[in-house]
Amino acid sequence: MPRPAKVRSISWTVSPKSTLVLREILAIAVNSFRADKVRATMTALGMVIGTFSLVLVVTIALTGKQYVLNEIQNIGANLIWAEYAGAANAGASAGTADYLTVDDMSAVQQQVPGVQAASPVLNLHEPILVGNGKQRDLLILGVNPEYVNVRRIVVSSGRFFDQQDSQSHHKVALVTEDFAIRQYGGIQFASGYEINIQGLPFIVIGTFRESVETFGQSEIQDDTVLIPYSMARYLTDTNAVNQIYFSMSDGSSIPRATEKILAVLKARHRAESVYNVGNLTQVLSLVAKTANAFTIVLLLFATITLVAGGVGIMNIMLATVSARIREIGIRKAVGATRREIQLQFLSEAVMISLIGGAIGTLAGLALPFSLWAFTQYRLPVSGLSALIAMLVSCLIGITFGTLPAKNASRLDPVESLKHE
């Protein structure tokens, strides 16, 4: 009677016979897990924790990055500011100061493409009468109606002054929320009160705040009053302004527009005059780079956890090979090749990694989705992080499962059958 042919080595081309062998190997791997559920669970736990950490780290990093970028966007990502910085000649006196003017703002709007809106800022510093006849040092800013959009000011009560108020020289004002709370007892009570500025009564028509707290690092302070620039110009009798803000229609044009604005201002003023023209593009770029670097550092820690899980898989698989030596001998005796034995134990390691990776990935994604479902918070979800987590899990299973699989495939079948 002829001897049965041995099972051939599995080739990389898919054939019905190789498919059958692969199914048999996967079935053996599944049966192995069922036979020792505790071992499989504890082995996969390291991968669960590792992939969960990886997905969670990416989610936290994306959330933090998006939060910071949004805060900067609220200040005005399309914002460009210009101000007089002094004279290049250190001996120049204050009387020769070459300040910016409203005419400069008009020239920039005409000569620089993409300027959507602009507003001058004229500072007035003087004690004024508020409420019950007491004097208080307030910062008064004369601005155009466009200022509310250029600087993304939030009007918390009342209204902002419009073009009619500006052109008609209406004596109206807005005060900060902090000032309204201290002076009038709340932002809802501020409208209708009078503030005397240089003997002229200004009616408070609303309260405002910055969309992002700048902690006094901008032109707006805690006790700030906004009035129409036309009235500030009348009170100071000067065409000079402290700053000019420009809002661009396209964020990509900001670097080029910044250079053009500076060129226009230099062309309109004395050669020795120095002007600062800046934007937040560099700040946005720096924040993005910092957030990416922080994400990489956190991912390294998550990767260490994954590697630790891979080492655990390797140790368990080495122990499994030792415990199944007789089974390996029987399989080789009935015709299994070294490659098939190696593939059997490698598939078990990869399967453990993938199962643990899938559970960890789902757990990591469950957090942002739960917040979406039950709260108003919206955390960014990275599908790429989930894909990377699964790929890394598979890679770790292959990497740390190779050694135990090779050890199993190299066992001598005769010696294996003698093993008790």
3-state secondary structure of 354: helix
Which amino acid type is present at position 267? A
Residue 237 has pLDDT above 80, yes or no: yes
Q: What are phi and psi of 269, to 5 degrees?
A: -130, 175
Q: What is the pLDDT, as a whole number, of residue 202?
A: 92
State residue 2's pLDDT score: 42
- Can you tell me the distance from the alpha carbon of 352 to that of 408, in angstroms, rounded to the nearest whole number? 18
Mean pLDDT along residues 167-196: 90
For β-strands 172-176 and 200-210, DSSP reports them as parallel
Q: What percent of the chain has pLDDT over 70?
A: 77
Q: What is the mean pLDDT of residues 205-211?
A: 90
pLDDT given for residue 243 in this prediction: 93
pLDDT exceeds cutoff 90 at 26:
no
Structure tokens given for 300: 């390294």
Give residue-wise pLDDT tens across range 122-135.
998 777 766 556 67
3-class SS shares of the chain: helix, strand, coil, % to 5: 55, 20, 25
What span, in angstroms and rounded, lies between the C-alpha atoms of 291 and 286?
9
The helix or strand, by DSSP H or E, that contains position 129, with its residue range, turns out to be strand 115-130
Return the pLDDT at 205: 95
Top pLDDT among 145 and 87 is at 145
Q: Say which range, 135-144, 235-244, 300-309, 406-415, has the weakest mean pLDDT.
A: 406-415
Per-residue pLDDT at 4 exceeds 70: no
Rounded mean pLDDT, 273-296 = 78
- Whose tokens are 């699964």? That residue is 390
- Looking at residue 132, its pLDDT comes to 59
Specify which of 24-28, 112-116, 124-128, 142-146 reaches the highest per-range mean pLDDT: 142-146
Length reported for the chain:
420
298 contact partners, CB below 8 Å, separation of at least 6: 57, 60, 61
The rounded mean pLDDT for the chain is: 78
Predicted pLDDT at 263? 94
Q: What's the confidence (pLDDT) of residue 109?
A: 93
> What is the C-alpha separation between 314 and 397, in angstroms, rounded?
9
pLDDT tens per residue, range 55-102: 877 777 777 777 766 666 666 568 899 999 887 665 544 457 889 999
Q: How confident is the model at residue 417 (pLDDT cuts 50, 70, 90)?
A: low
Residue 274 above 50 pLDDT? yes
Q: Which helix (H) or strand (E) covers residue 143, if one does?
A: strand 134-143
Please report the DSSP string for 266-317 in residue order. Answer: HHHS-TTEEEEEEESHHHHHHHHHHHHHHHHHHHHHHHHHHHHHHHHHHHHH
DSSP string, 85-119: EEESSTT--GGG---EEHHHHHHHHHHSTTEEEEE
DSSP-assigned letters across all residues of 153-213: EEEEEE----HHHHHTT--EEEEEHHHHHHHHSSGGG-TT-EEEETTEEEEEEEEEEESS-
State yes or no: pLDDT of 49 exceeds 60: yes
* 177 Cβ contact partners less than 8 Å away, ≥ 6 residues apart: 156, 187, 207, 208, 209
H/E element holding 236? Answer: helix 229-236
Residue 131 confidence (pLDDT):
57
Q: pLDDT band for position 332 (50/70/90)? A: confident
pLDDT for the residue 255:
85
* Cα gap 156→191, rounded to integer Å: 11
Q: Which pLDDT band, with edges at 50, 70 and 90, does 312 fall under?
A: confident
Window from 62-66, 183-187, 358-362 with minimum mean pLDDT = 62-66
Strands in 9-113 per DSSP E: 79-87, 100-101
- Could you tell me how many helices (H) and strands (E) the chain has, helices first? 13, 12
164-173, 182-191, 224-233: range with lowest mean pLDDT: 182-191
SS3 374: helix
pLDDT of residue 79: 84
Contact between 404 and 318 under an 8 Å Cβ cutoff? The reply is yes
Residue 403 pLDDT level (bands cut at 50, 70, 90) = confident
Domain residue limits, the chain: 16-70+286-418, 78-279
Q: How far is CA 366 from CA 48, 132, 209, 386, 394, in A?
A: 13, 58, 37, 12, 21
Indicate if the pLDDT at residue 420 is higher than 70.
no
Of the given ranges (148-157, 244-253, 391-400), which has the lowest mean pLDDT?
A: 391-400
The residue among 322 and 220 whose pLDDT is bigger is 220
